[in-house]
Amino acid sequence: MSRLGWFRRERSLPAGLGRRGNVVTAFSAGLVLVAGISIVTFVAPGSHAAPLSAADRTAVKSAKSNAKKADLEPAGPLTVVSVSPADGSRYANGGLPVKVVFSAPLAANSPMPTLSPRIAGSWRAAGNTAVFTPSTGYLPRTKVTVSVPGGATGVQAAGVTPATTPGYGYLASSVKDTFTTGSFSTLRLQQLLAQLGYLPLTWTPASGGTVSPGNASGQLAAAYSAPRGSFSWQSGYPSILHTFWKQGSGNMIDVGAIRAFESDQGLTMDGSAGSTVWARLLSAISKGQDNKHGYTYALASKASPETLTIWHNGRQVLKSLANTGIPVAPTTSGTFPVYLRYYFQIMKGTNPDGTKYADPVNFVSYFYGGEAVHYFPRYSFGYPQSLGCVELPWDAAKKAWPYLTYGSLVTVR
């Protein structure tokens, strides 16, 4: 056979064998890649890959294990990325959750940060964030410390094992941030008083601004940051009452309403919304304890003839002739809330001539110092005759007294 004929027969080998011959050389290499480690095995021409040696199998197993650890373990020490409220904050909302964000997801069994002072609530880890949800919250001007434990017994990232490189997956040291809560909102105070019926206005929350009465933490958060909504005047009240109202700012209508609420709650009536008043307000909202007395406004006019007019729940319920103070002892002009009441009293004092008096009076409602609306027996009414009080005839005084409850505003002009 000629060399040429042999060559032609060699080229006519089955297609599959020909392709194999093109791929596999005398000692071709098969490459095994495991997590970046190259393991080379050699095969003879026309054979399968030779089995891995015991040492090679150990290397492959180790490479897979290291790859798995690389996926699970943090790349370095755990760090605190942020704390909310931010460190040093002075006007934080004490009713909102506290959040601590870390550089890696936390392990399921990781210890949680702590708060001081402690309050009712719970911590929950979700991914790289630990969140404290309060059951109620912190009162105004409370300094709060957020402590995040560090070291080997501190906050731990997911995937940390005993064999982990020391320091990896843990905080290097504990972290402490502090914030201070702000003040409750005057606007929210007005919203609550209106909802409970202590104002001559109603308040309607905007879409999304409703806070469930039973949601304690939500109500407290709203106390710091009032939800959106609008006030509207109840019809029937005189225009002068409207002039006292200042939305979002303290005003005499607020003072009277707070006094009325304090009276209903058995508190000392100072007209100031301190922590006790706020606590009772939030409790009253949750329990639906509305104002049972309604809203009353009284206007004493010194114009001749002198009169006293009373509106209750937007309706005029009384207009009567009245007497105010004589020139040497005039009734003080202004607007004041009723702070003391008697059905009967012996009023004592000094007359302009220096003599003493002790007069029996009925249906007494004090609104400023020793000045009160009350019954006093006079021959006539409608001009200055008193020593500073607003005097009424018996029938008018008897009708006025149930309306002039604690906190009711009396304007003298």
Tens of pLDDT, residues 149-169: 999 889 999 987 654 556 678
- Name residue 63's amino acid: A
To the question of pTM greater than 0.85 for the whole model, the response is no
The pLDDT score that the predictor gives to residue 10 is: 40
Q: If 0-12 CB within 10 Å is exposed, 13-18 middle and 19+ buried, where does residue 302 land?
A: middle
Q: Average pLDDT over the chain, rounded to whole?
A: 86
**Using CA of residue 305, residue 412, residue 361, residue 358, what is the dihedral sign?**
negative
Residue 211: alpha-carbon gap to chain centroid? 10
Q: Compute the average pLDDT of residues 219-229.
A: 96
The pLDDT score that the predictor gives to residue 77 is: 87
The pLDDT score that the predictor gives to residue 152 is: 85
Helices and strands: H and E segment counts in the chain: 9, 20
44 vs 202: CA distance, rounded Å? 94
C-beta of residue 146 within 8 angstroms of C-beta of residue 121:
no
The pLDDT score that the predictor gives to residue 19 is: 41
377 vs 392: CA distance, rounded Å? 8
Q: If 0-12 CB within 10 Å is exposed, 13-18 middle and 19+ buried, where does residue 141 land?
A: middle
pLDDT at 341 over 60: yes
The pLDDT score that the predictor gives to residue 76 is: 73
- Beta-bridge partners for 98: 132
pLDDT at 297 over 60: yes
The pLDDT score that the predictor gives to residue 164 is: 52
* Class of the CATH domain delimited by 80-180: mainly beta
Q: What's the CATH code, domain 296-412?
A: 2.40.440.10
Delimit the domains of the chain by residue range: 13-72, 80-180, 186-281, 296-412
Confidence of residue 71 (pLDDT cuts 50, 70, 90): very low
The pLDDT score that the predictor gives to residue 311 is: 98
pLDDT at 39 over 80: no
Closest Cα to residue 150, out of 129, 169, 178, 130? 169
C-beta of residue 330 within 8 angstroms of C-beta of residue 413:
no
Per residue in 3-29, pLDDT (tens digit) is 333 333 344 444 444 443 443 333 333
Determine which helix (DSSP H) or strand (DSSP E) holds 279, and give its type and residue range.
Answer: helix 275-287
388 vs 412: CA distance, rounded Å? 11
